[in-house]
Amino acid sequence: MTTHDDVAYRVRERVLDMGATPNGAHIGGSLSCADILTVLYRDVLRVRPEQPEWPDRDRFVLSKGHASAALYAVLAEFGFLPEEELATYGAYGSRLAGHPLRRLPGVEFPTGSLGHGLSLAAGAALAARRTGGRARAFALLGDGELQEGSVWEAAMFAGHQGLANLVAIVDRNGLQITGSTEECVGLEPLADRWRSFGWSVIQVDGHDPEALREHLTALPAERGRPTVLLARTVKGKGVPMFEDKKKSHSVQLTRRLHKRALFGLRKVTV
């Protein structure tokens, strides 16, 4: 049986491959959420790759749309996309854009402009509640993204409505383009902030699949409240030359750097 580590390794490897294409990729934030995405698709989301529009499916929104490379790798890994399509990333006529397009199976909403995903997921959760459907809604947000005011409009709304079928996961890698989130516009005390908006808050190691699985398969964390996982992660996780480096945000890997990055990934994993 394929283990989490096998899948997450391949996802990271493919992220690096996409980073080596002419347009490059948002490598750092893709690697930081690779474990979260793998756990979601492997153990949590009720979705059917062979029937992507199945009405009762869980809705997943990649609110941090720039991590598209990780999403594409995961969608290919779980049968939403043909494996070989990944090679078209960023190329003329491809469905694999720098930020996810709606036309891609498994993508509920196109994202890329930050601060949209939580409202969309809240609406999807409310629709399921209204129609009596089993669908749950999951939104994966970047931590820098939380500087967008619209995130807090949605958080306030979801908390007030008690949307227990809504889950937010924050990829708390601590870095945004210009550096540390705390030096840019600080987010702490982040758990207190979410709690004060009416959410059930879980702090978790975003690279510990067991811990992620444990929390994400016991939802909602509290009755009548939306749940947020503040997932502590490392930007560029798994590739030493990128780990915790702001320069990993958006990179176009030369052939030499691609090789070095893959070598680093292999070494860390072994």
Partner 1 sequence: MTNGGDGVLTAPSRVDDPVDADWVERYSVPSREVYRRTLTELAEADPRVFCLDTDMGGLEDGFAERLPDQYVNVGIAEMNLMGVSAGLAAGGLLPYANTLSGFAATRACEALKVDIAGNDLPVRVVVTHGGASSGHYGPTHHALDDIAIVRTMPNMTVVVPCDAAETERAVRATAGLEGPLFLRLGRGATPVIGDASAEFTLGRARLLREGGDVTIVATGPHPVHMAVEAARALAERGVSARVLDMHTVKPLDRSALVDAARETAGIVTVEDHLVVGGLGAAVCEAVSAEHPCPVRRVGVPDAYLDFVADERDLLVHAGVSPERIEREALEVARL
Residues that bind partner 1 (CB under 8 A): 55, 59, 102, 108-110, 113, 115-116, 118-128, 130-131, 133, 135, 137, 149-150, 153-154, 156-157, 160-161
Separation of alpha carbons 12 and 35, rounded Å? 9
Q: Closer to partner 1 at the Cβ: 21 or 119?
A: 119
CB of 130: closest distance to partner 1 in angstroms? 6
Separation of alpha carbons 69 and 66, rounded Å? 8
CB of 199: closest distance to partner 1 in angstroms? 15
Q: How far is CA 29 from CA 35, 84, 177, in A?
A: 11, 23, 10
Separation of alpha carbons 196 and 198, rounded Å? 5
Torsion from C-alpha of 159, 163, 78, 234, nearest 10 degrees: 20
Separation of alpha carbons 78 and 146, rounded Å? 29
In the Cβ-directed half-sphere of 16, how many Cα atoms lie within 13 Å?
Answer: 26
Q: Closer to partner 1 at the Cβ: 112 or 240?
A: 112
Query: What residues does 32 pair with on adjacent strands?
Result: none
Q: Contact, 89 vs 69, CB < 8 A?
A: yes
CB of 61: closest distance to partner 1 in angstroms? 9
CB of 108: closest distance to partner 1 in angstroms? 7
Q: Which two tokens stand for residue 88?
A: 């078209």
Q: Closer to partner 1 at the Cβ: 17 or 148?
A: 148
CB of 98: closest distance to partner 1 in angstroms? 15
Q: Which two tokens stand for residue 101?
A: 């397009």
Q: Closer to partner 1 at the Cβ: 114 or 190?
A: 114
CB of 150: closest distance to partner 1 in angstroms? 4
In the Cβ-directed half-sphere of 28, how many Cα atoms lie within 13 Å?
Answer: 22
Q: Closer to partner 1 at the Cβ: 160 or 267?
A: 160
CB of 100: closest distance to partner 1 in angstroms? 12
CA proximity to 153, closest of 117, 191, 128: 117
Q: Closer to partner 1 at the Cβ: 59 or 235?
A: 59
Q: Closer to partner 1 at the Cβ: 39 or 154?
A: 154
Separation of alpha carbons 45 and 34, rounded Å? 15
